[in-house]
Amino acid sequence: MPEIWLNYGATDVVLDIKAENLEQKIEFDSQILQDSEVSERLDTLDLTKPLDLVILSYTDAVKKTLRLIFEKCAQKSIPRPKIFADKQILNLVKTVLPSDGQVLAFEGIESANPDLVFVGEMEFDGLFGFDSVSTKLLRRFGKDQMLLAYEKRRGNLPNSGQETESMQIAKDFTNSFEISAIEIVASSKGIADLSVGHPSKALGISKTLATFVQKTDKHRTLLVSTGKDSSNYTLGKSLNSIWNCHHAIRDDGLAILLCECKGGIGSEAIRQYLEGRMSIDRLQKPAKYVDGMEDLLYLTEIQKKIQIGLVSVLPEFYLKKLNLISFDGVKETLDHVLKVQGGRQKVSIIPDGARILLGPN
């Protein structure tokens, strides 16, 4: 009996599945940079200046990048940069710092100076194609321009991993600031690419992430793990893994997503829908953008062809309203599949759904 470990929040859970029920474990084998190569790319960062590093995502790749920067500072006997982070990851970032390190809450970009360096790991994004430093800053600080980015979407289905007009809106937004970024592309094995520069220029490494494509036949059932805690912290974030994989599911098929969602819904549009304050019709041509509007739109459209189930801590009451099947654990998902689809049904597993795109053969 194969034993497959899948990420669920801060831990991994085991899926015990019979060999005859396992169709395929779908992964992408990316090339990884050696630590020396990553360090060399970080040499373009002028650490002799009083830099402020703003951590936008807490991942293993970001932690390694910070460690290498601290090592450079120690070798050159220069002060470490000041560290800032979003409030929700503040305590996590503290665990990476030396005992005398301090991390401050990042409040705003309006008075940004050239010594501000944003650090983030790139993923796929249904609206922009890629979730980058530029898109993260636009979503947080460019609310008035998010409506235009939403209006520039290509259809009502996600365009993960593609070049989009919406991304140009994000580039234009960050071009108005004199700031820098450390943009990282990583897989579960390590850092695949890293770029230092203005956010609109560092975005060029999206070409590396765009190669994280695995061609596959269409499957009746996919069991998807996002691959890391930061990608399943909220429902809004977790759904990106479904957007990455939905093309590989047959009509009337089933996608089951492991996503703890300890941060809750994480999408104002989905929250408003659950509370009866957002209609599906409003998603087509809204007068105002509401955070996560595209995810509610994609969810509605994709559910016209496939079913989606969730293993999460979210209340079943919410999931039923979203037409999602609720599961209490990973074992229950397999029991459900074999009961509904037959004891000989084969299930395909995706261990790193946030960092892979499934395309047709």
DSSP annotation of 356: -
Tokens representing residue 333 in the block: 């998902």
Helix (H) or strand (E) holding 107: none
Q: pLDDT grade, residue 356 (50/70/90)?
A: very high
Give residue limits of the domains in the chain. 3-28+213-360, 35-209
The answer to whether the Cα torsion of 97, 98, 99, 103 is positive or negative is: negative
pLDDT per residue over 80-101, tens digit each? 899 999 888 888 888 888 777 7
Percent of the chain residues past pLDDT 90, beyond the cut: 76
Q: pLDDT grade, residue 43 (50/70/90)?
A: very high
- Beta 103-105 vs 129-131: how paired, if at all? unpaired
Give the per-residue pLDDT at 78: 92
pLDDT per residue over 112-138, tens digit each? 567 899 999 999 999 999 999 999 999
Residues 326/181, Cβ–Cβ less than 8 Å: no
Give the per-residue pLDDT at 124: 97
Supply φ then ψ for residue 114, to 5 degrees: -60, -15
Residues 54/106, Cβ–Cβ less than 8 Å: yes
Q: Is the pTM of this model over 0.85?
A: yes
Residue-wise DSSP of 266-280: --HHHHHHHTT---S
Is residue 350 pLDDT above 80, yes or no? yes
Tokens representing residue 141 in the block: 């600080």
Q: pLDDT grade, residue 306 (50/70/90)?
A: very high
Given CATH 3.40.50.300, say whether it is the number of domain 35-209: no
Strand partners of residue 119: 55, 182
Length of the chain, please?
Answer: 361
Residues 164/153, Cβ–Cβ less than 8 Å: yes
pLDDT per residue over 257-279, tens digit each? 999 999 999 999 999 999 999 99
Average pLDDT over residues 27-53: 92
Query: Which of 289-292's residues contact partners 24+ apart within 8 Å by CB, and which partners?
Result: 289/143, 289/146, 289/147, 289/149, 289/150, 291/139, 291/146, 291/267, 292/236, 292/266, 292/267, 292/268
Percent of the chain residues past pLDDT 70, beyond the cut: 99
Instruction: Give the whole-angstrom CA distance, residue 80 versus residue 62.
Output: 16
Is residue 213 pLDDT above 80, yes or no? yes
**Fold for the domain defined by 3-28+213-360:** 2-enoyl-CoA Hydratase; Chain A, domain 1 (3.90.226)
Give the per-residue pLDDT at 111: 58
Using CB atoms within 10 Å of the CB of residue 14, give its burial: 0 to 12 exposed, 13 to 18 middle, 19+ buried. Answer: exposed
* Cβ neighbours for 139, distance < 8 A, ≥ 6 positions apart: 146, 291
Is residue 342 pLDDT above 90, yes or no? no
Tokens representing residue 332 in the block: 């229950």
Instruction: Give the whole-angstrom CA distance, residue 211 versus residue 204.
Output: 13
Tokens representing residue 224 in the block: 């998807």
SS3 217: coil
Instruction: Give the whole-angstrom CA distance, residue 117 versus residue 134.
Output: 12
